[in-house]
Amino acid sequence: MDDKEFIVTEFIGKVGLVKLNRPESYNALNLQVLTELMESLKELDERDDIGAIVITGDEKAFAAGADISAMADATTEEIKKSAFIPTFSLIREIKKPILAAVSGYCLGGGLELAMSCDMIIASTKSKFGQPEINLGIIPGAGGTQRLTRSVGKVVAMEMILNNRTLKAEEALSLGLINAVYPVEEFLEKSMSLAQDIAARAPLAIQSAKRAINQAYELNLTKGLDEERDLFFDLFSTQDQKEGMKAFLEKRKPSWTGN
């Protein structure tokens, strides 16, 4: 966990804080950054003492996109064979909730990364955009799909076809992000939200994340089936027994994650 060049991980309470640390290029995502990031996320996902994860950058940039210098000369065949997008997609395998704590530039692959997280908390200094059109390409790691589902078709069209960037307050009003705080507070507020979530029943949290993400993948009937199965499964956990017993005994539940 400590031997990474571009990723710094801290453990605070039950939350793993993962920092992108390539400030000289606004945290541009090259293969090494992505590989280290996904390794860190997987390690945190496997730890019993961690209940939620926060990914952040610094005040100036969450990430200004994929590293343009790493793909400028690529051919279609080379970009198809590249491990870049498959590595990026590993974030979908993480079972624990992930919050993106964003400040500054959140562009291109950076916005795609934030949207691959489960919630986004931003500073007032944040700027969200998909500027790929300026490079003669389109988003390649989910931008056209996730942004459209978040902000709707017409705003997504304007952002992707004409590089409209959103300030934090606009992003909030359009439903792209959860909350906006002053720069001095956005990380602390993100950590506080993550700690609250991490203190809850871990198996129920993971089932809830899975069920909500299925709403992206499945039609309503299949999604309802999936939700019902996950709901039923939770009745074989100790935490379900504890949660309901604690309610009836008018006390706080004590979760074990079993």
109 belongs to the catalytic site = yes
Spell out, one character per residue from 197 to 216, where the chain touches ligand CO8: x when CB under 6 A holds, - when not.
--------------------
Q: Is 135 in the site for ligand CO8 (CB under 6 A)?
A: yes
Contacts of 128 (CB under 8 A, 6+ apart): 102, 106, 107, 111, 114, 122, 165, 166, 168, 171, 176, 177
d(C-alpha 160, C-alpha 133), whole Å: 7
d(C-alpha 226, C-alpha 210), whole Å: 9
- By C-beta, is 105 or 186 nearer to ligand CO8? 105
Q: Is 67 in the site for ligand CO8 (CB under 6 A)?
A: yes
Helix (H, G, I), strand (E, B) or coil at 75: coil
Residue 73: CA count within 13 A, CB half-sphere? 2
DSSP designation for 127: E
Q: Is 28 in the site for ligand CO8 (CB under 6 A)?
A: yes
- Cβ 224 to ligand CO8 shortest distance, Å: 32
d(C-alpha 153, C-alpha 247), whole Å: 43
112 belongs to the catalytic site = yes
- Cβ 108 to ligand CO8 shortest distance, Å: 3
Q: Is 68 in the site for ligand CO8 (CB under 6 A)?
A: yes
User: Which amino acid is located at 52 in the chain?
Assistant: A
Q: Is 131 in the site for ligand CO8 (CB under 6 A)?
A: yes
Q: Is 88 in the site for ligand CO8 (CB under 6 A)?
A: yes
Q: Is 74 in the site for ligand CO8 (CB under 6 A)?
A: no
Q: Is 105 in the site for ligand CO8 (CB under 6 A)?
A: yes
Catalytic residues: 66, 109, 112, 132
